[in-house]
Structures are given as C-alpha cells and as structure tokens.
Amino acid sequence: MKRLTSITDLEKLQKDLALRRKGENLLVTLCQGTGCKAYESHKIYEAFEKELNARNLREKVSLRSTGCHGFCEQGPLAVIFTGEICYCRVKAEDIPEIVEKTLIKGETVERLLFQDPEGGKRYAREEDIPFYRHQERLLLGQNRLLDPRSIKDYIAQGGYQALGKVLAEMTPSEVVEEVKKSNLRGRGGAGFPTGIKWETTRQAPGEEKYVVVNADEGDPGAYMDRSLLEGNPHLVLEGLIIGAYAMGAKKGFIFLRQEYPLALENLRLALKEARDYGLLGENILGTSFSFEAVTKRGAGAFVTGESSALVAAIQGRVGEPGPKHINTALQGIGGKPTALNNVETWANIPRILERGASWYASLGNRENTGTKIFSLVGKVNNTGLIEVPLGTTLKTIIFDIGGGIKGGKKFKAVQTGGPSGGCLPEKYLDLPVDFDRLRELGSMMGSGGMIVMDEDSCMVDVARYFMQFLKEESCGKCISCREGINMMYDILEGIALGKGREEELELLEELAWATHKASLCGLGKTAANPVTSTLKYFRQEYLAHLKEKRCPAGVCKALISYTLDQEKCNGCGRCQKLCPVKALEGERGSPPHLNHPLCIKCGICFEACPFKAIYVQ
Amino acid sequence: MINLTIDGKNYKGEKGENLLQVGLNNGFDIPHLCYHENLSPYGGCRLCLIEVTRGERTTLTTSCTYPGEEGLQVKTSTPQVLKARRLMMEIILALAPSSSHIQSLAGKMGVERTPFNYQKEGEGCIKCGLCVRACEELVGAGVLTFSHKGPQRKVEPPFGEEPKNCIGCGTCVYVCPAGCLTMEDTPQERKIDRWKRRMEMKTCQKCHQPYMPTPQIEYILKGPPDPPPEKWLSCCPICRRKG
C-alpha cells in the first residue's frame, strides 16, 4: 500500500473502499473476541470457509472475523448481513445448515435465534433483541462490523476521517475546546473532565509532551477496554493521534495489561498498519504534524492502573503510586507534561470530532455526557458488554438489557465500579447511573464493572471476597491500605466463620474510615467501599452472622448445614455418586443419611438434587 | 522564603521544603516513623498526616511528602487528623509490639494499647523503608529492596539471597525504628541475621581487637573521590587517636 500523503488521499481511499464494500451482497461477521474464542469460534470460521468453498460461494460471500459483539452470554455469535440475522451459540456443525438455509435460500434457522428466557419469543434481527435494543452503541457498535486486523475495514467505515478533519480544519486549541465543550469525563473511573486535563497539558510549558492510553484494566469481570482494543484498535489509536495533535505530543504510550495477548497482537498490527498508511510517524497525512506511539506491557500489578503508578511503570520503575500533589498532566513521564486517559476515553474522541461536541453533549445528562460501556456480569440472564447513555437507570440496565435475574430469583444488590465499588440495594434501582449519583451513594463508576447479585449472595461474603482481592493488590506502601484492608479482611473472615463479635463492627467501620482517609492513592481511598456500603445497606445480614450465627443467604460454610428431606428424596443416588467425601451414606434406592461430621458443605449435592430434597439450614 | 500558616499562626519556610520539616523546625510535634531528614520522604507510615488547604481545596495528606509553598494553610491537629493518626498508631503498635521506640511514640500520642491482634510473619517490621533508603541514598550500597505486594510486602536483599555488596556498616540497624534488625559482632565476624549476611572483621594492628568489617574498609578506600590514607584504616579509631 502506498503511504497516504495528504488528507485528500485519505478521503479518496475511503470513498474507494466504501464503494467496494457496497458491492458486498452477503456478509457474515463472526465474533472472535476472547470470550467467543474460548468457545472455539475460530473453528466456526474454518467451518464457514470449508462450506463456502465446497459450494463455490467463497467469492460471493464475505466472511469477516470481528472483535467482541458484546452479547457474551449467547456466544459464539454470527451475524448475517444483509438482514442482520443474529445467530447465537453457534457451533461448527451448524454451519452447513446456515449456509444452506440463510445464505442460499434466505431463510432463518429458527433454533439458532435468540430466545427470550422469559416468554420464549425468538428474535431474528440483532437490533430487535432486547439486549441490544435498549443500548446506544456509539463505541462498541463498529465491533460487529469490522475486522480489527484490517485498517482498510476501519477506513472504509469512515475511520480516520475525524483525524483528517482535525488536521485539515482545526487548530490544536480548537480541538481542546471541542473536547471541553463535549463535557467528556474520564472513563477510567474518577470522571475528571478530559478537556480540562488536555488544556492543562497543552498549556504546560515545554516542548516535550506525552500522551498515554491507560489499558491496564484489572477489575475482575470487567473487559470493556480489552474488547475495544481487540475489536477496534484503530478507534483508540485515532483518538490518541488527535489528542497528540491537540496537546503537542510527539510520542505516545499504550500501557497494556500483561494478560491481554490478543489485544496486544491487534494493537501492534494496528500501529504497524497506521504507520504504513502514513497515519502515524513523520508528517502524518503530509502535514507538519509528527507523532509516534508504542505499546508497553504491564507486569501484572492491579495498582499500575493508577496514573502515577502507571507513569512509574512506563519508565521501568516499580509500579507504585507517587505523591498526589504532583499532577501527571504537568509532570508525568520524565517529569514532562503527560495526558493520561483511559482506553474508552480515547475511543470517544473521534466520535466527538466527527459529529461535534454539541451532538455529543446531547447524549446523557448535563454533567454526564455521552455513553458508557459496562460489563454486565453476575446473576443476570444476559451477561455481556453493554453501552448506554450515562444516566440510564440501573433498572433498564439490569432488567431490560440484562433480561432480569437468572432462574427467576430475586434481585439483591448490584456492585458497580469494580472491586472497590459499593453494593447498592433494590431501593436504588431507579437510580440514573452516572459519576455523581454513584459517588453520592457510596459506590463509584470505576471503569464500568457491574456485578449483579441475587438472593443467594451473602453480603458479608461479598465484602470478604473483595477485601481478599484488594489486600493482595495493594502495593503495600501505605500502612493504612496494606494493613487496613488486611485487618478488615481478618474481621470479615471471622464473621463468616461465626467467630465474630458484635463490637467488631465498630472496629470495621473505623478501619474502613482510616483506609479511605489516610491512604495515598485511589486504590486505598476506595478500597473500603464494599465494606461501608454493605454495612450501610445490609447491616441486618452482618448482625445475623454475629448474633444468631446464621448466614441468611446460606453461603458462609461455617454457619450452614445441609439437611435431606426424606419425603422428597426418591433415592436416585445422584448425590451419593457426586459427594466428594462420601458423606451421604446408605443403600441406593432409599434416601441416604447425611453424615454431618464428614460433610465439607461444598454444596454439590444441593445443586445436583433433581427433587430439591436437599436444603440449606 | 515562603509564608504559610500552621494552626492559625504565620511561619516561614523554604520553598519546596517538606511540611513535616517546616513543622518540626517550628516546634510542632508531628509524629513520624518513616521520615528521616537526610533521606527522601516516603509517606508509608501515615503518622505525619495533616490537613492542607491550598486555594479552595483541603486535603488530608502526609506532611513529609508535601512540599511547602506560599500561602498554604496547614492544620496539624484537627479531629480527623488525630483520629487517623491514632488508628495508624494502633496498627503500627500491633505490627511491632516490642519496639521501645514505637511504644514511647505511641505513649506520647496517647495510644496505650491496640485493639488489633497481629500474630503473623513480619517479625516486627513495619515496612517503613528507612533501611532501604538509607542503604541506597546514604551508604550507596543499595542492597535492600521491597519485595512482594500487599501484606506480603517485605524488605529483603534481592531474591532473598545474601547480599554480596552489603558492606556491613550497620546503617540499616541504626535507622530502624521498629528495632527488628540486629547486628552481632564476634571476634571473627559481623552478622546481620535478617539479611543472612556474615562478614569477616578487620583486626586492629595495634590492639588486635576486631573493629570494622573488611568489605566496609574496601568500600571506603575505593568509594569517595578523596579516600582517606590506607594507614588510617589499619587500626581502630581508639588506637588511631592515641597516635
């Protein structure tokens, strides 16, 4: 490919490519995100190729591997255009039927369509599926359409047009103004206004400046950044290049979590292709603007997602946070002004410049504009990556998009913002999800994790789990964070084991306060949220553990025991076969006897019993 | 010079000088354990917490890591400062219950006992990092480092092996506020058990008493730009003074 040497070159290329795409009558896009890959979606691709070749259709049908479509619950996904027929949980053996019926005859394969768990209605078109229907997929929308390993695909769909427009028509300060006007707030969690950060870096003295993509996504169960980088790396890169132009940076870093090999691969390829096309490097699109970006990999510490720790890590030092009076925007890498933004923040930039700040600001509410990607996981029917305008209520997210609670159980709490977010109870389901509302209630936006819990979740156990995660991920510098979290964990562990004393609740509250107040960085400052929020909204549950030595949700092993209902049991022997410690004794054909001292309360029999004859006490 | 207020009164300090030092210079008794005036500030023990108002924003921060600047308003003993310090001290006391230095500092702060029980590994180390910084910044040997994270964090020589570059000067033992480091001299060798370090001792040519580890003498002779004459180090300081 010839290097693009002017903005008109880029426009011409876009038109050519788009025209060629128009000729595509039949297109099949296959999700090859990490989630679907785990379900062997690459084999589906091979099966499609084989089948198309066998039927001499390879020339007529475009087959495309894409990044994550978001509806991970139903993966692997295949979408057939035109018609946008979405097939769920596709297996390699389904391919001949799809080719025969859908690609040749234009019919749908009913059994592969999404079926609503409640009501059983099937949906053919992707956009009709309730999971997608209530979303506004400003950033994720392209994921299902383009091959992340092809810059041509991105350009064909209007990619790099925002960069072209910026370089042709706007001065750097106009770009910063536009971002300010959009009211975009940092998607990494704190929600700091991006435009103001950019202005600080832009106006900071000195020639040498840096831009950084924070892709050190580490929250358990959260994968929005990974999916953007795996599925649409050029979108993030375009945002970064625009930012570099606006702030006068010559070099950029993409700091990527160690555990994201596919994102790294796609990103490196994107950087190479962008360089080959003259969109990165010296004299971008023939202008006087030059910019280079490289990837840096984290070494596996959660805390390097924190800005000052990330800057330290990029420079090869131990990834530990530094003093907070130093503003990274002014003194970052090598003491030079450094604009550090989250993956999702950068991905918003091309959209803002394509369609204008006022359009962008019309999404969401006044102080919380635009959309936000959440990873909706836990006990909901439709888990996956979702994108909604800020200010959408929890109810819409969990019940309309998420399809409600699995197995018809009752909603209990939702934890927002990753491991150091708070757990919000049912009474806040009408809460508009934005940076400020969540903070007011003792939770946070964080990077956008959302873990839904049902009646079977024990809130003491939840708090204990997150303290365990955080104590291991604290860098250990501040005593308040290192020991504060550790001691909170010890107390919670004691409560879960039935050894807690009531007066320990006060101590727990004091520790939570001190960890929040006395710690240096965001990790320590927010670490106590799971404890304080559960104490605030689910105190009764703590008291049941402490006073009655009872776990109401039946989770804390030390406080529960299993009982067998002789009436319901028909002696099928399934539980006896599965019990790892042989605690269910007796002859097959009659109800077994549960030998309590042997029982390790693993719950396997409880889960397995077809007659629900085993219950928790 | 800069002007700032501490607890409502005006004081002067050097620009960039940390607020803990400014406070200490002006007679404020701000408790601290991980700070040493000759070492870079660290901010690990969280005892020197203060409230700083800069413009319209007030933050609770460690005074040792906060550089002084014109117009800052500092409060050293608000209720939340005292509460946070008390909790920190209670935690520290649980980590190093037998350190007399920490006991006396706790006593001064009115902390007589701790509600926390901490009978775990760590052997009295509060992980303040004074030894790490002293070895690196003052001695220049740099043989100590932090390893692991979270509660597993500990100070040790790289890979937990005997640090061959340790000169046995004992600065780490001297600066440790928790008293968890010990150094033992026998006629033949010096031992610092925590670092698994053993060194041969140099014997005084005059009184024939051991007085300094051999690696330390070698380090001094090749170390500074203007090393002392070799014969100075051939005998112990007492005999040298005698002439």
Instruction: Point out the domain boundary residue: A454, A489, A516.
Output: A454
Give B15-46 pLDDT, tens digit per residue: 999 999 999 999 999 999 999 999 999 999 99
Indicate the pTM of the whole model. Answer: 0.92
Express each pLDDT in A570-605 by its tens digit: 889 899 999 999 999 888 788 898 888 899 888 899
For residue B228, pLDDT over 90 is answered with no
From chain A residues 411-470, the ones with a CB under 8 A of any chain B CB are: none
Domain assignment of residue A4, yes or no: no
Chain A residue nearest residue B153, CA to CA: A476
If we measure between CA atoms, which residue out of A397, A401, A423, A439 comes closest to residue A553?
A423
- A195 and A339: one domain? yes
Q: A342 and A432 share a domain? A: no
Which of A474, A483, A507, A523 should be substituted to probe chain B, the one whose Cβ sees the most B Cβ atoms within 10 Å? A483
Residue B122 has pLDDT above 60, yes or no: no
A325 touches chain B (CB under 8 A): yes
Q: What is the average per-residue pLDDT within A406-426?
A: 93
Residue B11 lies in a domain: yes
The answer to whether B68 and B22 are in contact (CB under 8 A) is: yes
Which CATH number do you get for residue B48? Answer: 3.10.20.740
CATH number at residue A537: 1.20.1440.230
Query: Does residue A476 share a domain with residue A529?
Result: yes
Average confidence score pLDDT of chain B? 92
Q: Which of A326, A467, A479 to mutate to test the interface with B (most CBs of B within 10 A)?
A: A479
Above 90 in pLDDT, residue A246?
yes
A518 in contact with chain B, both atoms CB, cutoff 8 A: yes
The tens digit of pLDDT for each residue in B158-170 reads 999 999 999 999 9
Do A435 and A479 fall into the same domain?
no
Cβ pair B62:A510 closer than 8 A: no
Same domain, A194 and A327: yes
Q: Are residues A345 and A208 in the same domain?
A: yes
Of B43, B115, B149, which has the smallest distance from its Cβ to A475's Cβ? B149
ipTM of the complex: 0.93
- Asked whether residue A394 is assigned to any structural domain, the reply reads yes
* From B83, B84, B91, residue closest to A483, measured CB to CB: B91
- CB-nearest to A471 from B46, B92, B150 is B150
**Domain match, A469 and A433 both:** no
Asked whether residue B75 falls in the same domain as residue B152, the answer is no
Q: Which residue has the higher pLDDT, A345 or B236?
A: A345
d(CA B198, CA B168): 8
Residue B120 has what pLDDT?
A: 63
Do B184 and B100 share a domain, yes or no?
no
Residue B121 has pLDDT above 80, yes or no: no
The reply to whether residue A487 touches residue B42, judged by beta carbons under 8 angstroms, is: no
The residue among A455, A381, A380, A414 whose CA lies nearest residue A616 is A455
Contact B116 A487 (CB under 8 A): yes
* Segment A253-263, tens digit of pLDDT: 999 999 999 99
Domain with A596, as residue range(s), is 561-616
Is residue A94 located within the same domain as residue A206?
Answer: no
State whether B152 and A476 contact (CB < 8 Å).
yes
Phi then psi for A486, rounded to 5 degrees?
A: -60, -45
Task: Using an 8 Å CB-CB cutoff, list chain B residues near A518.
Answer: 46, 49, 60, 84, 87-88
Of A416, A436, A454, the position where a domain reaches its end is A454
The count of structural domains within chain A is 5
Please tell me which of the candidates B60, B88, B152 has its beta carbon nearest to residue A479: B88
**Which of A23-32, B45-54, B200-209 has maximum average pLDDT?**
B45-54
Number of cross-chain residue pairs from A and B with Cβ atoms under 8 Å apart: 89
- Co-location of A334 and A407 in the same domain: no
Closest Cβ–Cβ partner in A303, A485, A518 for B88: A518
- Nearest CB among A474, A510, A513 relative to B150 is that of A474
Q: Which domain holds residue B225?
A: 130-242
Nearest chain B residue to A319 by CA: give it.
B149
Q: Is the pLDDT of residue A1 over 70?
A: no
Please compute the mean of the pLDDT values over residues A230-244 and round it to a whole number. Answer: 97
Assess if residue A419 is contained within a domain: yes
